[in-house]
A = this chain, B = another copy of it.
Amino acid sequence: MNRLNNLSSHLCTALAPPNHPLDPLSTVELAAAVKIIKRAYPGRQFSFNTVTLREPRKVDMTEWLKTPAHHIPREVYFVILETGTPGLIDGYLSLTDGQVKLFNHIKDAQPILTASDLSNTEKVVRTDPLVIEQCRISGIPAEDMHKVFCDPWTVGFDEKYGNSRRLQQAIMYYRSDPDDFQYSHALDFCPIIDTELKKVLYVKIPKIRRPLSQAPHPNFYPKDIEAGIGFRKDIKPIKITQPEGVSFKMNGNVISWQNFEFHIGVNYREGLVLSNVRYYDKFEGRVRPIFRRLSMADMIVPYGHPGDHHPHKLAIDIGEYGFGNCVNPLGLGCDCVGKIHYLDWSHVLRDGSVSTIKNAICIHEEDNGLLFKHADFRDEFQTSLVARARKLVVSQIATVGNYTYCFYWNFHQDATISLDVKLTGILNTYVANPDEKTEPYGTKVYPGVNAQNHQHMFCLRLDPEIDGSDNSVAMVDGARSTYPVGHPENKYGNAFFPERTVFKTAKESMVGYDGSRSRTWDIFNPNKVHPFSGKPVSYKIVSRDVPDLLPKDGGIVARRGAFAKHAIHVVPYKDDQLYPAGQHVPQTSGFPPAGLPEWIGEGNQNIENTDIVVFHTFGITHFPASEDFPIMPAEPITLLLRPRNFFLMNPAMDVPPSYAITASEVRAQKSGNQAMFDKGSQLAFGNAPVAPSSDCCK
């Protein structure tokens, strides 16, 4: 406490510098930042929306990576609200000298919605006379308002108020019992709330009324399952342990594992941020950079129903709520099993106090099946070599209202990086009348429940540094020879090749996905070619869940979520150009363009052989079905970032095999197959599990 009391005079010396310039702000730093703002503007009524690391300028980081003594000011980006003042104030300050550097009132921007903002909404809604009346019409008497719940959402774009006030829309639900599953009991109207005034402004009332469903709540907590279908009792445990500890090392937030090294950061918006991803290349005997920064920079979940207030359901979850803000504290044995290392994440609440979410990030290893295998037919596969794969998983789970998004960054021993996204949680639902036909825009997944069509479009931001900072991007398609069958150049008609289109300008990079052509994108360094193939060193984006954005061009979704209109956008690097839907996303109309469309403009910027950033949009189109209800089994999406012509050869050849025997050794041994396979290789790590005869056969 002494430290904080002395802050106003001793700021330069009170705060210990971070281990790494990209480390998230510590609880001490967060408190100091709040104090600096209050001190700079005494007597003003501020509430704190966002207090986060202002990431160093790239030139400074580049210098620091070479020379850690290079001084980087420790800076904080903030967004605050001032009572009675429309819009928001953002800016940044320096913890190093205690000064506010920028303090910018933006009248027509609205800030991200935080847990603090959302926590009052249910109370506001329950006590509002307009809402009470609509509930009564739905079949809920006034004395039962405590049974009314709501999931507070951003409004999309509100035509009545635009961004002149800070708004939420309340997706309304009902519970008979406080522990009920509410999503089977949606209410048909939608209150619009002023977040700051804490009052309902108006209520959207549909033409066709749909009263409260009378169906039972399909609850699925243990007491409900035990009273109903009963739990499965035949699942035997699996134990996953690492008795000698883990293979990764953490030095603060910097992790080293299997030749990879990178910094793990977390912020309010993107959640996980992986920086300075580098790989120690044994062939070249040096550390080679791959990605300067990787993160999920935004996402949009447009709903496909054109009627009533449904088109206002277009949640830009990262820009409007923030994944860091929505991160779950993870539980051992539940969210992650095995030997887990966690990172906490701290943030500032509305009142300026500091709060810590424990176990926000989970780090662990997993066996990943076969790494590679070759067996020689000449001696019935006795000559063979088998290596098993290990992967490192850095993950977070964010819950945004009903949906739960799980992100798993996987690092592989062959220097591949992959991202798994799992979608689980609960469908957004609307009420359906008993004989209502919900097609084509929704599915009646339960009596009284209309689960509407939607998409989840994720925008991955890749700041590549493929063995150097000047990179390019090429689109690669499988292409048939242009020569017809029978032509001397294509006698048998079998000729095909990779058709490679290097993007020269931002505009050229705005392409879609073509699965029939096996389309991929190479991020490459034209200044470094492979000594054997002559091809530039690259990492290839292999991404196969890449649907078109279905909402149409010219509509609100395409304007606000322009990043989702193309699978790829490449732009020249500029500091602070992080968020593809713009800096302050809630309540934007899409005019003027913000984020990617603003940065790109006409799109004539050179993006070839220079410092670039790649935005890749991928996702799924979700047409709900009964299996998604009441809770959704995790649906997986995967993409890979694979080294291609980056390494001299397979970079995982030095992974000890589980088993390896040469042809000569086979001949020398002359023993039976089974004995050899049970023997194992001396170089295999640990002992293969004992294999008693299986006890599962009758």
In the complex, the answer to whether A697 meets B341 with C-beta atoms within 8 Å is: yes
Q: Cβ of A72 < 8 Å from any Cβ of B?
A: no
In the bound assembly, the distance between CA atoms of A663 and B182 in angstroms comes to 12
**Which residues of B are found within 8 Å of A409, using beta-carbon distances?**
none
In the complex, the answer to whether B655 meets A232 with C-beta atoms within 8 Å is: yes
Contact partner, A370, options B385, B424, B447, B677, Cβ 8 Å? B424
**Which residues of B are found within 8 Å of A494, using beta-carbon distances?**
302-306, 310-311, 314, 551-552, 555-557
- Name the 10 nearest CB pairs between A and B, nearest first: A493-B555, A333-B688, A515-B515, A237-B686, A440-B497, A331-B677, A496-B550, A311-B492, A414-B633, A306-B495
**Which residues of B are found within 8 Å of A686, using beta-carbon distances?**
237, 239
Can you list, as one digit per residue, whether each of A584-617 has a CB less than 8 Å from chain B (1) or not (0)? 0000000000000000000000000000000000
Nearest chain B residue, comparing its CB with the CB of A149: B378
In the complex, the answer to whether A242 meets B250 with C-beta atoms within 8 Å is: no
Contact partner, A533, options B314, B535, B625, B655, Cβ 8 Å? B625
Q: Cβ of A371 < 8 Å from any Cβ of B?
A: yes
In the complex, the answer to whether A372 meets B631 with C-beta atoms within 8 Å is: yes
Show 26 A/B contacts (Cβ-Cβ < 8 Å), sorted by A.
Answer: A115-B377, A178-B664, A179-B663, A229-B282, A231-B656, A239-B686, A240-B367, A240-B689, A252-B698, A310-B494, A329-B674, A332-B689, A334-B386, A372-B632, A373-B399, A373-B424, A373-B425, A375-B399, A381-B399, A441-B497, A444-B534, A625-B643, A625-B645, A627-B650, A629-B649, A631-B653
Contact partner, A513, options B243, B489, B516, Cβ 8 Å? B516
Binds B, one of A47-55, A124-132, A475-483: A475-483
Contact partner, A234, options B235, B258, B302, Cβ 8 Å? B258
In the complex, the answer to whether B626 meets A334 with C-beta atoms within 8 Å is: no
Binds B, one of A61-69, A162-170, A217-225, A463-471: A217-225
Q: Cβ of A236 < 8 Å from any Cβ of B?
A: yes
Output the least CB separation between A663 and chain B (Å): 6
In the complex, the answer to whether B236 meets A656 with C-beta atoms within 8 Å is: no
In the complex, the answer to whether B663 meets A535 with C-beta atoms within 8 Å is: no
Q: Cβ of A119 < 8 Å from any Cβ of B?
A: yes
Contact partner, A339, options B311, B334, B441, B694, Cβ 8 Å? B694
Nearest chain B residue, comparing its CB with the CB of A691: B332
Q: Cβ of A143 < 8 Å from any Cβ of B?
A: no
Q: Count copies of this chain in the complex.
A: 2
**Which residues of B are found within 8 Å of A446, using beta-carbon distances?**
532, 649
**Which residues of B are found within 8 Å of A246, using beta-carbon distances?**
236, 694-696
**Which residues of B are found within 8 Å of A41, using beta-carbon distances?**
none
Contact partner, A650, options B338, B479, B633, Cβ 8 Å? B633
Q: Cβ of A245 < 8 Å from any Cβ of B?
A: yes
A626-B653 contact, Cβ under 8 Å, with A235-B390, A492-B556, A696-B245: no
A627-B647 contact, Cβ under 8 Å, with A247-B234, A377-B115: yes
Q: Cβ of A91 < 8 Å from any Cβ of B?
A: no
In the bound assembly, the distance between CA atoms of A605 and B475 in angstroms comes to 41
Binds B, one of A4-12, A358-366, A568-576: A358-366
In the bound assembly, the distance between CA atoms of A381 and B329 in angstroms comes to 8
Interface size counted on chain A using CB atoms at 8 A: 211
**Which residues of B are found within 8 Å of A247, using beta-carbon distances?**
234-236
In the complex, the answer to whether A517 meets B547 with C-beta atoms within 8 Å is: yes
Contact partner, A552, options B225, B447, B484, Cβ 8 Å? B484
Can you list, as one digit per residue, whether each of A292-314 has a CB less than 8 Å from chain B (1) or not (0)? 00000000001111100011001
Can you list, as one digit per residue, whether each of A624-646 has a CB less than 8 Å from chain B (1) or not (0)? 01111111111000100011111
**Which residues of B are found within 8 Å of A555, using beta-carbon distances?**
485, 492-494
In the bound assembly, the distance between CA atoms of A239 and B489 in angstroms comes to 55
Q: Cβ of A77 < 8 Å from any Cβ of B?
A: no
Output the least CB separation between A15 and chain B (Å): 21
Contact partner, A634, options B236, B258, B372, B534, Cβ 8 Å? B372
A375-B358 contact, Cβ under 8 Å, with A480-B550, A551-B496, A697-B250: no
Nearest chain B residue, comparing its CB with the CB of A342: B694
In the complex, the answer to whether B250 meets A698 with C-beta atoms within 8 Å is: yes
Q: Cβ of A389 < 8 Å from any Cβ of B?
A: yes
**Which residues of B are found within 8 Å of A501, using beta-carbon distances?**
none
Q: Cβ of A558 < 8 Å from any Cβ of B?
A: yes
Output the least CB separation between A682 and chain B (Å): 8
Q: Cβ of A433 < 8 Å from any Cβ of B?
A: no
In the complex, the answer to whether A370 meets B634 with C-beta atoms within 8 Å is: yes
In the complex, the answer to whether A627 meets B644 with C-beta atoms within 8 Å is: yes
A685-B649 contact, Cβ under 8 Å, with A302-B494, A333-B680, A535-B443: no
